[in-house]
Amino acid sequence: MPNTPRITRRELLRGAALVPVAGALAACATPAAKPSASASAAPAATSAANPFGVAETRPLEIWIFDGGFGTEYATKIHEPLFKQKYPKAEIKHNATKEITKVLQPRFAGGNPPDVIDNSGANAMDFGALAQDGQLQDLTPLLDAPSWDDPAVKVRDTIDQSVIDIGTYDGAFSVLGYVNYIYGVWYSQKAFRDNGWEVPKTWDAFLKLCDAIKKSGTMAPFTYAGKFPQYLYEPLLTTAAKIGGGEVLVHIDNLEDGAWTSEPMRTAAAAWAEVGAKYLMEGTAGLDHVQTQTAQNKYKVAMLPSGSWLENEQKTTTPADFEYGMFPIPDMGSSDKLPYGTLHTQPGENFIVPSKGGNPQGGMEYLRAMLSKKAAGDFSELVRTVSVVKGAGEGRALSPGAASASKAFADAGSNTVYYRWQSWYAQLKDEAVAATGELMTGGLTPEKYLERLQKKADEIKNDSSIKKFKR
């Protein structure tokens, strides 16, 4: 059969010779064996004006998360400030909504950029980055003189919680730039017009919900049902108010029985009651934009959110809406923390990759961001509160930002926070799923807490998940 094609031994060998070529091309999914040597990252001479030894001509690559705050604050405020000092350095500005998709391969390839605003739903996992030593230790930044005043260290210009929360494995490595202040948000106009008062106790809160429900003007309460993390936030803050900040510390540290503690039981039962009685119809299937817009249309009175809310809703809020925010009401007289206790947490997290080409420039860029002028301009541009102390002074604040700032000032040192949701993403997803069930009655408060405790225990016993302590 001379016509049937047959591959001879010789041809087979020739074909085999091609295989290594294919193999070389294929080395794309697995990580590069050696991170590129960053000889170029060696610092230049340091001085008081240049504490990190930034090389004047070395380019600086910046990636900004293009989210609620946009990117103008970087291109119009921060980058020009850096450029002013280092006119010879080329700034490579980039923006994306998909931080992980764009930048994860850069880390795996060993050539990450110099500054990243690692924020948004598609942010990279800080735990994974820290575990692999990809984050530059920013302690030198804290100890450097501040941009405005050489006599003051950067450490003393920002809130202590920024340093606590940005610390991974004992090294300060994540800089939260915005101070998020959480509470229950309402329309000061609607409350005034209807004669409703901000409740200071939980009983008053339930009575208010009853009154709103009976009045028929609007539903009492809602939350972003598709994203139940909006509800476990007030639930955890309630528990912290009852039992003190340790309640959250124990949860963060994955301690035995942390989720099923007595304050957690009280808080879960209290919020389950709100879920059963006072939610706006259809809440479980609506997202944050839909529920917030319903509030702007006076269809619902209150919802839990943070200080980004006013800026996020600026296009749908009626001019006389007057956002206001109140803290979690008193549960009882035995609450460990007083009325006014707030959950505050720095957000919009900036990192400097340790294996980038210009980590010194990255730190210097963060130092510029933390100047009073940069932070103040930022607050004004995006209507929010930055972590730089006193940067908002003398600036005109919108009603919601003013209300949140006042609550923050009133709270004084009574602020709480938690970190488990950024440390243990699996626990977060389980809490999101279970909280939705708690609020729609699919889980009793006991079963809810047992389920989360079980997940926390699972994570604790999983050797592949890196553990953190605070």
Residues that bind other proteins (CB under 8 A): 2, 5-8, 11, 14-15, 18-19, 21-23, 25-26, 29-35, 100-101, 104, 107-108, 110, 124-125, 127-129, 131-134, 225-227, 281-282, 284-286, 425-426, 429, 432-434, 436-437, 440, 442, 458, 462, 464
Nearer to other proteins, 173 or 266 (CB): 173
CA separation, residue 407 to residues 324, 330, 337, 387, 396 (Å) = 10, 15, 15, 15, 17
Nearer to other proteins, 367 or 451 (CB): 451
The nearest distance, CB 54 to other proteins, in angstroms, is: 25
The nearest distance, CB 151 to other proteins, in angstroms, is: 39
| 351 within 8 A of 336, measured Cβ to Cβ | no
Nearer to other proteins, 22 or 45 (CB): 22
Nearer to other proteins, 103 or 407 (CB): 103
Distance CA 378, CA 384 (A): 8
∠ CA 87-92-93, rounded to 5°: 110
DSSP tally for the chain: helices H, then strands E:
20, 11
CA separation, residue 13 to residues 20, 71, 373 (Å) = 12, 56, 69
The nearest distance, CB 83 to other proteins, in angstroms, is: 30
Q: Which of 355, 376, 377 is nearest to 116 (CA)?
A: 355
Distance CA 26, CA 20 (A): 10
Instruction: Find the farthest-apart pair of alpha carbons in the chain and give their distance in angstroms, rounded.
Output: 99
The nearest distance, CB 32 to other proteins, in angstroms, is: 6
Q: How many residues are there in the chain? A: 470
Nearer to other proteins, 129 or 175 (CB): 129
Nearer to other proteins, 13 or 42 (CB): 13
What are the tokens at 189? 């106009």
Residue 347 phi/psi, 5° resolution?
Answer: -135, -170
Contacts of 363 by beta carbon, 8 Å cutoff, 6+ apart = 52, 136, 138, 140, 141, 144, 352
The nearest distance, CB 231 to other proteins, in angstroms, is: 13
The nearest distance, CB 284 to other proteins, in angstroms, is: 4
Return the bridge partners of 302, or none.
221
Residue 41: Cβ-neighbour burial (10 angstroms; 0-12, 13-18, 19+): middle
The nearest distance, CB 294 to other proteins, in angstroms, is: 9
Residue 109: count of CB within 10 angstroms of its CB = 13
Nearer to other proteins, 23 or 216 (CB): 23
Hunting for tokens 């923390």 — which residue is that? 337
The nearest distance, CB 124 to other proteins, in angstroms, is: 7
| DSSP for 316-330, written as a single string | TS-TT--EEEEPPPB
Residue 215 phi/psi, 5° resolution?
Answer: -65, -25
The nearest distance, CB 262 to other proteins, in angstroms, is: 26
Nearer to other proteins, 2 or 195 (CB): 2
The amino acid occupying position 24 is A
The nearest distance, CB 31 to other proteins, in angstroms, is: 5
The nearest distance, CB 272 to other proteins, in angstroms, is: 15
Sign, Cα dihedral of 84, 85, 90, 96? negative
Nearer to other proteins, 24 or 409 (CB): 24
Nearer to other proteins, 26 or 49 (CB): 26
Nearer to other proteins, 72 or 281 (CB): 281
Contacts of 185 by beta carbon, 8 Å cutoff, 6+ apart = 295, 302, 303, 304, 305, 309, 323, 324, 325, 400
Nearer to other proteins, 161 or 217 (CB): 217
| DSSP for 164-207, written as a single string | HHTEETTEE--EEEEEEEEEEEEEHHHHHHHT----SBHHHHHH
The nearest distance, CB 230 to other proteins, in angstroms, is: 12
